[in-house]
């Protein structure tokens, strides 16, 4: 996308697309982010515009630091993240408020009321208050685009980072926006400027900047009083609402005749503006999602209002909820909720994580889990995750268990973390394990991509967000460099090998890493690959349901009538059989390893267990052929390896597969660039 569009026309944009366009229009030169719903699409769209450097950082702290560095070099910079990402980036945020900026610096953080895809429902407006930085909050995509640009003006005018807060609704809803894309530029000149009193936060410097910070906040409070987007809409004066963000739209729809003060700058607040509005209405209500943030600060001004006592503070609001909360009347009309059949979230057919968690479940381990698609392993039928708190916590929490229980915990617990999450913040936990003489085993699920947020590149995927080839972090070498002596790689589709390897490692009183490496099934190259399909030979199925225990969506249960059962030669009690949906089957071969009765076969090879075994062998050898360019190298490695155990052999095979997967990812990214 060039960013140029025809004059006078309008375009339909989601909030995130509008922010990307606004960023381009603001003349931003550097943008860094860690993917996280609902913010991910901002950089995925921004990268399509010319002249903006975009990158996925390993975590949000790094993203903000990259953006701050760029800003202090005099260019406009952007950092984006989901709400919990700001917890990770809080360290640089709080001190960036002291240093201030040169080129404008905007941080977009996307809150997730209702927790559509998040582990908590924190309200990041509190960060603006705590870090003493201004925060803008748009109500729709067009405002998101406009406020993003205003954010840069405010940032440069007041020498401060600015947070633009969106919520899931604003990030994902579509709206019309004018198509013109005039470009602005930073007021600062790009270049290196040495200014230690402003940029080196030694206590002596920081104490002086602390005073500057307070003066700046006072100036911003005054500015908020004349900020044209803090808008008073006088109407019927019996009832008045103070609101912001998407709640403004709900209020307007529920009470079109009421007076409204729409706060677009939600921090800092201008007391005079609020007091004048409050004195102009009889009953004042504050309508906001999540925390009573505005209400608390308005009440602290000594202004009487009603808010949280009426308006729910959990989950998203909508027009009906707002109307009902204020009037106390049951809501009637509108669209009745549609009853949909229950469809529990599940990992994809053929997902390699399923194999890892099946193996872990068999070992009855306590699983310290992490954030990713694989968190779904906590749900039935796998039920193989026992705790999950935040990005990277799996590794350090497993170490905590180890230190709390000592030898009692040996062989009973394991940490499981995805590749991208490991780079994000799991690697520091692993350092802690090595340094503090822990014994935990960490399973790294390396599916070659950041899968959950929609297939973003990461430090091991071999390409950047800009589509350029990049250095690939070698996870095995990284773990060894940290000091982990026992590092093994396994193909998680090979269930018994995976189980045996994890069992052996958790029982050893020293730290170890098991890298379960197989490609995410959604990587385009994997999807295009010709794969074996598997089927259930119904007359051989004895209804033991073992194949169902891994929860593959391609495996279904089919009830049969007594006549059908008789025709299939079933024993009297057998009332059904398993069946594989050929369209959904991804050919991972996990289920065939679970069926002890030879009922699952490779399609086209219907001669029972014996044949099916050879089918699996055939499949495995064809995989080896596919990886043949690397075979000599791996064989040489095998010869020189000190570990000549069976597991080492497995690791070598898996490495072959890992390399062929890496090639696939490279091709994918090259195409994406085109
Ligand atoms: S297909 Fe095999 S594993 Fe699945 S229910 Fe039938 S006999 Fe059991
Ligand atoms: S091979 Fe079996 S487990 Fe794998 S996707 Fe097909 S049905 Fe599911």
Segments forming the whole domain that contains residue 444: 352-526+643-673
**Residues 405 and 507 occupy one common structural domain:** yes
pLDDT in tens, 23-65: 999 999 999 999 999 999 999 999 999 999 999 999 999 999 9
Ligand 2 binding pocket mutation candidate from 350, 531, 532 (most atoms within 8 A of CB)? 350
Please indicate, yes or no, whether residues 376 and 313 belong to a single structural domain of this protein: no
Residue 475 lies in a domain: yes
pLDDT at 451: 86
pLDDT band at 621 (very low <50, low <70, confident <90, very high): very low
* CA–centroid distance, residue 519 to ligand 2 (Å): 15
The answer on 535 and 485 residing in a single domain is no
Backbone region of residue 462 per phi and psi (left: phi > 0; alpha: psi in -120 to 50; beta: other values):
left
Q: Is the CB of 590 under 6 A from ligand 2?
A: yes
Regarding whether 652 and 547 lie in a shared domain, the answer is no
Same domain, yes or no, for 244 and 304?
yes
Q: Hey, which of 534, 600, 601, 612 would you mutate to test ligand 1's pocket, going by the most ligand atoms within 8 Å of its Cβ? A: 600
375 alpha carbon to ligand 1 midpoint, in Å? 27
What confidence score (pLDDT) does residue 180 get?
Answer: 75
Measured from the alpha carbon of residue 350, the closest ligand is: 2
- Residue 588 CA, closest ligand 2 atom number: 4
The pLDDT of residue 610: 38
Ligand 1: residue of 495, 535, 542 to mutate (most ligand atoms within 8 A of CB) is 542
HEC string of 14-37 equals EHHHHHHHHHHHCCCCEEEECCCC
pLDDT of 661 strictly over 50: no
In the predicted structure, residue 4 carries a pLDDT above the cut 60? no
Is 144 within the bounds of a domain?
yes
Ligand 1: which residue has its CA nearest to atom 6? 541
> Mean pLDDT lowest for which of 61-75, 228-242, 438-452, 610-624?
610-624
> What long-range pairs does 127-130 form, CB within 8 A, spacing at least 24?
127/86, 127/90, 127/93, 127/163, 128/163, 128/165, 128/266, 128/267, 129/267, 129/293, 129/297, 130/94
pLDDT digits (tens, 9 = 90+) for 345-364: 899 999 999 999 999 999 99
Query: What pLDDT is attached to residue 332?
Result: 64
Ligand nearest to the CA of 591: 2
Assign residue 539 the CATH number of its domain: 3.30.70.20
- 499 within a domain of the structure (yes/no): yes
Cβ atoms within 10 Å of 647's Cβ, excluding its own: 18
Show the ligand 1 pocket: residues with CB < 6 angstroms: 536, 541-547, 577-578, 594-595, 597, 599-600
Tell me the ligand closest to 597's alpha carbon.
Answer: 1
Asked whether 349 lines ligand 2 (CB < 6 A), one says yes
Q: How far is the CA of 555 from the centre of ligand 2 (A)?
A: 7
Say whether pLDDT at 632 is over 60. Answer: no
Helix (H, G, I), strand (E, B) or coil at 560: coil
58-62, 134-138, 310-314, 604-608: segment of lowest average pLDDT:
604-608
Between the CA of 535 and the centroid of ligand 1 the distance, in Å, is: 11
From the CA of 623, how far away is ligand 2's center (Å)?
A: 17
The predicted pLDDT at position 670 comes to 44
- What is the structure's pLDDT at 604? 63
Q: Is 438 in the pocket of ligand 2 (CB under 6 A)?
A: no
Q: How far is the CA of 618 from the centre of ligand 1 (A)?
A: 22
Ligand 2 closest atom vs CA 589: 1
Tell me the average pLDDT of the chain. Answer: 88
* 584 domain-assigned: yes
Pocket test for ligand 1, best of 381, 535, 541 (most atoms within 8 A of CB): 541
**304 and 201 assigned to the same domain:** no
Same domain, 403 and 258: no
Lowest mean pLDDT among 190-194, 277-281, 416-420, 658-662: 658-662
Atom of ligand 2 nearest to the CA of 555: 7
Using the structure block, give the residue that is written with the tokens 């350090």: 396
447 and 546 in a common domain = no
Phi-psi region of 195 (alpha: psi -120 to 50; beta: other; left: phi over 0): beta
- Give the Å distance between the CA of 597 and the centre of ligand 2: 16
**pLDDT of 623 higher than 60:** no
* Best residue for ligand 2 mutational test, from 381, 581, 587, 605 (most atoms within 8 Å of Cβ): 587
Mean pLDDT, residues 57-74? 96
Mean pLDDT of 587-601: 96
Strand 135-136 relative to strand 265-267, pairing: antiparallel
pLDDT value for 335:
66
Name which residue sits closest to atom 4 of ligand 2, judged by CA: 588
Which atom of ligand 2 is found nearest the CA of 354? 3
Determine the distance separating the centroid of ligand 1 and the alpha carbon of 345, expressed in angstroms.
23
**Are 26 and 74 in a shared domain?**
yes
CA angle 423, 522, 342 (to 5 degrees): 100
Nearest ligand, measured from the Cα of 594: 1
> What's the rounded Cα separation, in Å, for the pair 196 and 667?
46
pLDDT digits (tens, 9 = 90+) for 254-263: 999 999 999 9
Is the pLDDT reported for residue 532 higher than 70?
yes
Task: Give the number of whichever ligand sits closest to the CA of residue 551.
Answer: 2
Q: Which pTM value belongs to this model?
A: 0.84
For residues 5 and 297, the model is more confident at 297
Looking at residue 334, its pLDDT comes to 62
Predicted confidence at residue 48, as pLDDT, reads 95
Q: Is 433 in the pocket of ligand 2 (CB under 6 A)?
A: no
For residue 342, being part of any structural domain is answered with no
What is the percent of the chain with per-residue pLDDT over 70, rounded to a whole number?
88
Which residue, of 292, 327, 362, is where some domain finishes?
327
The rounded Å distance from CA 584 to ligand 2 centre is: 8
Are 83 and 100 in the same domain?
A: yes
Which residue has the least CA distance to atom 2 on ligand 2?
A: 591
pLDDT confidence of 667, banded at 50, 70, 90?
Answer: very low
Decide if 262 is inside a domain. Answer: yes
Distance between Cα 579 and ligand 1 center (Å):
9
Mutation to probe ligand 1, out of 556, 592, 597 (largest number of atoms < 8 A from CB) = 597
Please give the residue that has the higher pLDDT: either 8 or 659.
Answer: 8
CB 395 within 8 A of CB 433: yes
Tell me the three state secondary structure of residue 94.
Answer: helix
Question: In angstroms, rounded to a whole number, what is the distance separating the alpha carbons of residues 153 and 161?
Answer: 11
Is there a single domain that holds both residue 203 and residue 302? no
In order, the DSSP letters of 176-214 are EEE--------SSPPS----HHHH---HHHHHHHHHHHH
How far is 176 from 143, CA to CA, in rounded Å? 11
Distance from Cα 632 to the centre of ligand 1, integer Å: 39
What's the gap in Å between 545 CA and the centre of ligand 1? 5
In a domain? residue 99: yes
CB 577 within 8 A of CB 556: no
Give a yes or no: residue 334 inside a domain. no
632 three-state secondary structure: helix
Q: Are residues 60 and 123 in the same domain?
A: yes
C-alpha of residue 382 to centroid of ligand 2, in Å: 15
Percentage of the chain lying above the pLDDT 90 cut: 77
CATH number, domain containing residue 364:
3.40.50.970
Q: For 504-513, write each residue's pLDDT tens digit.
A: 999 999 999 9
Mean pLDDT, residues 405-427: 96
Q: Report the number of distinct structural domains present in the chain.
A: 4
Mutate to test the pocket of ligand 2, among 552, 579, 593 (most ligand atoms within 8 A of CB): 552
Nearest CA to ligand 1 atom 8: 544
CA 578 to ligand 1 center in whole angstroms? 6
- The CA distances from residue 631 to 5, 462, 478, 624, 652, in Å, are 51, 21, 23, 8, 9
């Amino acid at each position: 996308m060039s960013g140029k569009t025809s004059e006078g026309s309008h375009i339909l944009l989601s909030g995130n697309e509008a922010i990307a366009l606004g960023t381009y229009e603001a003349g931003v030169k550097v943008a860094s982010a860690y993917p996280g719903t609902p913010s991910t699409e901002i950089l995925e769209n921004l990268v399509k515009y010319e002249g903006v450097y975009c990158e996925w950082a390993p975590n949000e702290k790094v993203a903000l630091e990259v953006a701050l560095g760029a800003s202090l070099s005099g260019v406009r910079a952007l950092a984006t993240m989901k709400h919990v990402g700001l917890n990770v980036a809080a360290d640089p945020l709080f001190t960036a408020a002291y240093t201030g900026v040169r080129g404008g610096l905007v941080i977009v953080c996307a809150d997730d009321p209702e927790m559509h895809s998040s582990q908590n429902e924190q309200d990041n407006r509190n960060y603006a208050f705590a870090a003493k930085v201004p925060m803008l909050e748009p109500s729709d995509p067009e405002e998101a685009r406009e406020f993003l640009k205003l954010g840069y003006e405010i940032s440069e005018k007041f020498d401060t980072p600015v947070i633009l807060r969106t919520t899931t609704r604003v990030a994902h809803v579509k709206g019309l926006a004018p198509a013109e894309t005039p470009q602005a530029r930073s007021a600062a000149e790009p270049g290196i400027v040495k200014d230690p009193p402003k940029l080196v936060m030694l206590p002596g410097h920081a104490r002086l900047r602390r005073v500057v910070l307070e003066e700046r906040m006072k100036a911003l409070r005054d500015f908020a009083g004349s900020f044209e987007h803090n808008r008073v809409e006088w109407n019927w004066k019996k009832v008045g609402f103070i609101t912001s963000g998407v709640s403004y739209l709900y209020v307007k729809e529920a009470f079109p005749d009421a007076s409204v003060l729409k706060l677009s700058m939600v921090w800092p607040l201008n007391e005079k503006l609020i007091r004048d509005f409050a004195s102009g209405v009889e009953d004042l209500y504050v309508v906001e999602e999540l925390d009573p943030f505005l209400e608390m600060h308005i009440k602290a001004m000594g202004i009487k209002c009603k808010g949280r006592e009426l308006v729910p503070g959990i989950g998203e609001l909508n027009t009906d909820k707002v109307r009902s909360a204020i009037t106390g009347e049951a809501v009637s009309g509108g669209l009745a909720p549609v009853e949909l059949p229950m469809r529990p979230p599940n990992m994809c057919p053929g997902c390699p994580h399923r194999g890892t968690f099946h193996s872990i479940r068999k070992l009855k381990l306590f699983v310290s889990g992490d954030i990713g698609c694989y968190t779904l392993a906590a749900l039935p039928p796998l039920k193989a995750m026992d705790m999950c708190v935040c990005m990277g916590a799996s590794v350090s929490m497993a170490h905590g268990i180890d230190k709390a229980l000592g030898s009692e915990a040996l062989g009973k617990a394991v940490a499981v973390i995805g590749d991208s999450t490991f780079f994000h913040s799991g690697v520091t936990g692993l350092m802690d394990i090595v340094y503090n003489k822990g014994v935990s085993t960490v399973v790294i699920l390396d599916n070659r991509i950041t899968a959950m947020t929609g297939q973003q590149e990461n430090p091991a995927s071999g390409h950047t967000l800009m589509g350029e080839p990049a250095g690939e972090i070698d996870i095995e070498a990284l773990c060894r460099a940290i000091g982990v002596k026992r590092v093994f790689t396994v193909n998680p589709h090979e269930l018994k090998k995976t189980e045996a390897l994890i069992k052996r490692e958790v029982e050893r009183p020293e730290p170890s890493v098991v890298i379960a490496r197989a490609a995410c099934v959604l990587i385009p190259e994997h999807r295009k690959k010709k794969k074996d399909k598997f089927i259930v030979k119904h007359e051989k199925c004895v209804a033991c349901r073992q194949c169902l225990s891994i929860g593959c969506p391609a495996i279904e249960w089919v009830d049969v009538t007594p006549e059908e059962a008789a025709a299939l030669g079933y024993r009297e009690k057998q009332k059904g059989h398993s069946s594989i949906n050929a369209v959904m089957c991804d050919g991972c071969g996990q289920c065939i390893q679970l069926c002890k009765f030879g009922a699952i076969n490779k399609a086209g090879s219907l001669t029972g267990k014996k044949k099916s075994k050879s089918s699996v062998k055939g499949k495995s050898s064809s995989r080896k052929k596919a990886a043949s360019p690397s075979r000599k190298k791996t064989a040489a490695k095998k010869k020189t390896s000190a570990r000549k155990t069976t597991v080492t052999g497995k690791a070598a095979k898996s490495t072959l597969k890992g390399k062929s997967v890496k090639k696939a990812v490279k091709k994918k990214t090259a195409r994406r660039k085109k």
